[in-house]
Amino acid sequence: MNQLLVTFSVFLLVMIAMAVGVLVSNREIKGSCGGLNDIDGLEGACDICEIKEQCKRRKAMQRKALMEQ
């Protein structure tokens, strides 16, 4: 039982430390340019991505490849 409490406490402390780190750094949490937000119909990552033109070009190439099949 003690081992369970110690483990839970360590996880809780690590999560609190990460939350404090985000608050202290004063930066926004950002997603990547890709993942689930890259699926057509889901707006998100490519709208805020720093390399929007590459995202647009890649999507255009993917659409063209699908139409050729």
**Contact assessment for residue 39 and residue 55, using Cβ atoms and an 8 Å cutoff:** no
Task: Tally the domains of the chain.
Answer: 1
**Contact assessment for residue 44 and residue 32, using Cβ atoms and an 8 Å cutoff:** no
**Contact assessment for residue 57 and residue 65, using Cβ atoms and an 8 Å cutoff:** no
* Domain ranges, residue 58: 2-26+33-68
- Per-residue pLDDT, 26: 79
Sequence letter at residue 23: L
The Cα–Cα gap between 56 and 61 comes to: 9
Question: 6-40, pLDDT tens digit by residue?
Answer: 999 999 999 999 989 888 887 766 666 656 555 66
- Per-residue pLDDT, 7: 97
Distance of CA 4 to the CA centre of its chain: 31
